[in-house]
Structure 1
Amino acid sequence: MAAKVKLNKTDLAKLEPVGSKQTVYWDTELSGFGVRVSNGRMVPKRDKKGNEVKDEKGNTVEVREYGYSFFCQGRLRGRVIKVTIGKAPTFSPDQARRTAREYLGKMAAGQDPRIAKDTANGSATFGKMMLGYAEWMEQAGKVSAAKVKREIEKDIRDPFKAIWRKPANAITVDDCDKIIARLEKAKTPRQADKIRSYMKSAFRKAINARRNRAMPEGLKLADVKANPCNDIEKVKGSSKARTRALSLAEFQAYWTRVKELPEPGRSVMMLHVLTGGQRIQQLSRATLHDIDHDTGTLTLLDYKGRRTEPRRHAVPLLPEALACIERLTGTGNFVFSCDGGKRPINGKFISERVDKIRAEMAEAEELTGGHFTPGTIRATIETRLAAKPYRVSSDVLGQLLSHGLGGVQARHYQHHDFHDEKLEALQMLYRMVEGQPEPSAQIIPFDKEARA
């Protein structure tokens, strides 16, 4: 445990680090206020007049100059944060203590003193605004919040430190263009457009955050009145429509090879198809608690788009899908797992097996349409179910795959759950991959004598 001392000029000069490690000393007067003492560097020893001290041989005597950095630590909205105040001798212990008292008061009031520290002309920096946007995503329950924060730091903070420190209300369209252009030159148009979208959304949130006390400080203090990203067009090549869908023969060959995989890959890949090619992120979040055995459904949470609350997406489970789940789950809770349900799988697990099957199909000359990816399986399912002899309607396919449901009709007027229609479509899908014919309508002969 760190030692406690009274931090004043006299006692501060006596503090040394323990061994070669930086050492923390807490103030006995103000709880949460402390100083970090580091080894620093060797400097010439000086007498009272400021002259360098020499030894008998005329060499300059050196002494170690320790580093003293004041900080405070407190809780902000339930989380412990540390704020660096400054170094001695720029800050005396008394000055640092007054600042610490101010910062701790802000934390108690729910304000982030780190933002106030980094503001210029009353405005939070661009970086604080962007981190505030990531914090808002976390508060809104967006599962991608952590990923967005990492991408913001990697593609904005690290390569553009000057822009990152610039006041948010001083950011121009040229600043935003520089950030996007770097990713375009790196031939990553998809990532470039994602960063464009993050910046545009952050500015929009900041504009509307000034009178909203629930919003993160980084957005509230940005003092933004215009969105410099409004006129920046979508990055070319960032969203390529999926034009590849497996032919029926390719799809059946894919299914045959899926069933030949060793476990747990076999059951994982079968379940991916048997649930209709659902998005991997949604499947990976599913647990045993999301299965309703009375209705025979698996409820997935669809966070995609601007939803503040996820859409509950119920997928009927065929007996074959339930058998896959039975083989995959054990002592854990996750449905889409390869270690007995303890941890969910990720997209890489699926991609590696799709790559293996694709290579085998190419070698066996079963691949007539070229390269395909896990996303192709989802596109194939929709394409084949829409064609003869299945002719599943676009409304049912939209419900089955949870897309195209953002219109007024879907939000306010369409309350049918489509359970039977989705189940019928999945039954068709199973017959399709197994090469089974669709049952035809039974023709009942007309009995003339009976009519008479």
Structure 2
Amino acid sequence: MGIRHKITEKFIAQKVAEAGDRHRVFYDDHRDAPRGFGVRVTRAGAVSFVLNYYAGGSERRATVGRYGSAPHGLSITAARKHAAKLRDKINAGGDPLAETQAARSAKQASKTEAKRKLEYGLGALMAAYIEHLKSAGKPSWKQVDGAIARHITGPRPKLAAKPADEVTVDDVMPVFHELAKAGKLREAEKLRAYLRAAYTAARKARTDAAMFAFTGFQIRANPLLDLDVSRPKEAADKAAAAAKERKWALSEAQLAAYWRHIEADDTSRGALLRFHLLTGGQRVEQLSRLTTADYDSERKTITLHDTKGRRKVAYEHVVPLLPEAVKALDSMRGDKGDHLFTVTAGRDGAVYHTVWEAVQDVAAAMIEANEIDRAFTPGTLRKTVETRLQAAGVSKEVRAHLLSHGRSGVQAQHYEAHDYDTEKRAALRKLRALCESKSKNGNVTPIRRKA
């Protein structure tokens, strides 16, 4: 340890005045100074007390404290006493430097974890999930985004800011109590599904490299697995009635009446509805994304990109076009853009609400003409196509290929190479014939619901 000196205030002042281009340590030879105790003077003249010792086979140097007056500094006498206590710990097998470093690391880790929790709240988790849906080509991201904004990030910023790995069922239950009280059980069910799906996706980040967007959340379990939205009897009865209503489809006579109305409409909306029906009532979300690149004018087909379900890559769903569907397509197309399913001459794709409004107008006209007793939607027309083709003897397999049902299995993805073009065209011709069968004589009998 070199030469030992009598450490005094005068000695320290002298060494500070002599501070050179390197740090220097001077060891104390005072009778009360423990072995290895000294004072360190830096190049800048800063002074602190140190203690050299051996631990684990190597020499270490622990800082005892800064030289100066209390409360932030130590006098020489106080530093010797403190160093003596450290020496007793060392003799008992302790390692002050290691303990200090461990405490510093723990403090830093605590700060880092606190910062992580601030950055990875529930709102951030849902934002990452929404981006995940976007990157996977899932149009449902819009519904998720809207629901989270309405019920979490907008009205409950504290809940949104809570660290995602600390959220419990108790934290989110007030949201669901509010929805249940308002009778919005279906909205509550959807929100529950979104939250649970986000946690499931984040949990996969531990084992799936593709889920890197969720890494910082450190989700090890889904805390919302026990979250439930039960339906009381009244709500259950209402849900059952709604499910029954959802299965309702137009009769053959009503379908023919609908065709008569849209066939007589020579506007772009009429062409839109004819194209929608004559392609089999395809999902509007997919039709709205159609561009000129998806149209094969030689084969007379369109290619829809089906992202429904858990598909990571969109399934290419090819739909053949009857001559009247091609004619309707030509009526919609214009010179303002590349979109095919449009009422703006190609500038934009027609969204669901646009189609819904057009269908509602036709339904209102049919109700006024006593051709039907209730309004219907584009979804009703899709069910109608399925139901009427089923009744006409079109096989379930052909209907599945026409309407893109259940095409994500191993057999469909890897083994079935037949494109079913002939069968799909035959089914669409049968649909077109059904539209004509009872529209000429006007003999349309509405089906009345029981009061």
CA–CA distance in structure 2, aligned partners of residues 295 and 233 of structure 1 = 50
Structure 2 residue aligned with 1:201 = 197
In structure 2, what residue type is equivalent to 1:311?
Y
Give the counterpart letter for 1:338 in structure 2: V
Indicate whether 1:165 and 2:157 are aligned.
Answer: no
How far did residue 263 of structure 1 move? 0.6
Aligned partner (choices 322, 325, 328) of residue 321 of structure 1: 325
CA contact (8 A) 1:133 1:205 kept: yes
Which 5+ residue runs of structure 1 have no aligned equivalent?
A: 1-114, 438-452
Q: Distance in 2 between matches of 1:260 and 1:177?
A: 53
Query: In the aligned structure 2, how far is the partner of 1:172 from the partner of 1:384?
Result: 48
Q: Confirm or deny that 1:304 pairs with 2:308.
A: yes
What is the TM-score of this pair, normalised by structure 2? Answer: 0.65
Structure 2 counterpart SS, 1:220: helix
Question: Is the partner of 2:200 in helix, strand or coil?
Answer: helix
Q: Partner residue of 2:101?
A: none
3-state DSSP of counterpart to 1:226: coil
* 1:206-355 correspondence runs (5 A): 206-210=202-206, 215=211, 217=213, 219-233=214-228, 236=231, 237=239, 240=243, 242-331=246-335, 332-355=337-360
Task: Report the AA paired with residue 192 of structure 2.
Answer: R
Conserved? CA contact 1:176–1:228, under 8 Å? no
Given the alignment of the two structures, is residue 126 of structure 1 paired with residue 129 of structure 2, yes or no? no
Tell me the amino acid that sits aligned with residue 187 of structure 1.
Answer: G
Query: Larger helix proportion, structure 1 or 2?
Result: 2
In structure 2, the CA distance between the partners of 1:134 and 1:360, relative to structure 1 (3 Å rule), is same
Give the structure 2 partner of residue 378 of structure 1: 382
Partner SS, residue 416 of structure 1 = coil
Bigger Rg, which one: 2
Residues 26-81 of structure 1, C-alpha deviations (whole Å, 9 max, x = no match): xxxxxxxxxxxxxxxxxxxxxxxxxxxxxxxxxxxxxxxxxxxxxxxxxxxxxxxx
Q: Which amino acid aligns with 1:172?
A: T
Kept in 2: contact 1:274–1:430 (CA 8 A):
yes
How far apart are 1:146 and its partner, in Å?
A: 4.3
What SS does structure 1 have at the residue aligned with 2:120? Answer: coil
> Can you list the C-alpha shifts for 1:110-152, whole angstroms capped at 9, x where unaligned?
xxxxx988633x8821111111111222222323334432332
Residue range with higher mean Cα deviation, 410-419 or 159-168:
410-419
**Cα distance in 2 for residues equivalent to 1:123 and 1:303:** 31
Q: Which amino acid aligns with 2:360?
A: D
Asked if structure 1 preserves the Cα contact closer than 8 Å seen for 2:167 and 2:223, the reply is: yes
In 2, Cα distance between the equivalents of 1:386 and 1:212? 42
In structure 2, do the counterparts of structure 1 residues 277 and 409 end up closer, same or farther at CA, with 3 Å as the change threshold?
same
The aligned counterpart of 1:4 is: none
SS in 1 for 2:303: strand
Match of 1:392 in 2: 394
Q: Deviations over 1:346-380 (max 9, x none)?
A: 11221222222212211211115x33222111111
**CA shift digits 1:82-129 (9 cap, x unpaired):** xxxxxxxxxxxxxxxxxxxxxxxxxxxxxxxxx988633x88211111
Give, as a single letter, the amino acid of the residue that structure 2 aligns with 1:345.
A
Q: Give the root-mean-square deviation of aligned CA atoms.
A: 2.5
Name the counterpart of 1:90: none
Matched with 2:407 is 405
- Please give the alpha-carbon distance, in whole angstroms, between the structure 1 residues aligned to 2:378 and 2:390: 19
Tell me the secondary structure at the aligned position of residue 312 of structure 1: strand
* Distance of 2:115 and 2:259 partners within structure 1: 57
Query: Per-residue CA shift, 1:314-360, capped at 9, x if unaligned?
Result: 00001110111111111121111112111111112212222222122
Matched residue of 1:434: which SS?
Answer: helix
- Aligned partners of 1:381 and 1:224: how far apart in 2? 44
- Quote the Cα distance in structure 2 between the aligned partners of 1:117 and 1:150: 29
Residue identity opposite 1:416 in structure 2: H
Task: Provide closer, same or farther for how the CA distance between residues 235 and 379 of structure 1 changes in structure 2, counting only shifts above 3 A.
Answer: farther
SS class of match (2:286)? helix
CA-CA distance at 1:410 after TM superposition: 2.4
Report if aligned partners of 1:253, 1:361 keep a CA contact under 8 Å in 2: yes
- Label 1:116 to 1:364 Cα distance change in 2 as closer, same or farther (>3 A): farther
1:109-120 aligned at under 5 Å gives the runs 119-120=116-117
1:153 is the counterpart of 2:157: no
| Normalised TM-score (structure 1) | 0.65
SS at match of 1:221: helix
- Report the counterpart of residue 105 of structure 1 in structure 2: none
Equivalent residue of 2:350, what SS?
coil
1:317, 1:262 → 2: CA distance?
19
Q: Cα distance 1:262–1:192, how it changes in 2: closer, same or farther (>3 A)?
A: farther
Residue 430 of structure 1, CA deviation: 0.7
In the other structure, the counterpart of 1:446 is none
Structure 2 residue runs of 5 or longer lacking an equivalent are 1-111, 232-238, 440-451
- For the structure 1 residues 214 and 378, does the alpha-carbon distance in structure 2 shift closer, same or farther, using more than 3 Å as the test? closer
Deviation at 1:207, TM superposition (A): 0.9
- Letter of the aligned partner of 1:169 in structure 2? D
> Retained in 2: the 8 A contact 1:123–1:223?
no
* Equivalence map 1:16-165=2 (5 Å): 119-120=116-117, 124-165=120-161
Once residues 181 and 303 of structure 2 are traced to their aligned partners in structure 1, the CA distance between those partners, rounded to angstroms, is: 41
Aligned residues: 318
1:137/1:377 CA distance change after superposition, 3 Å = same
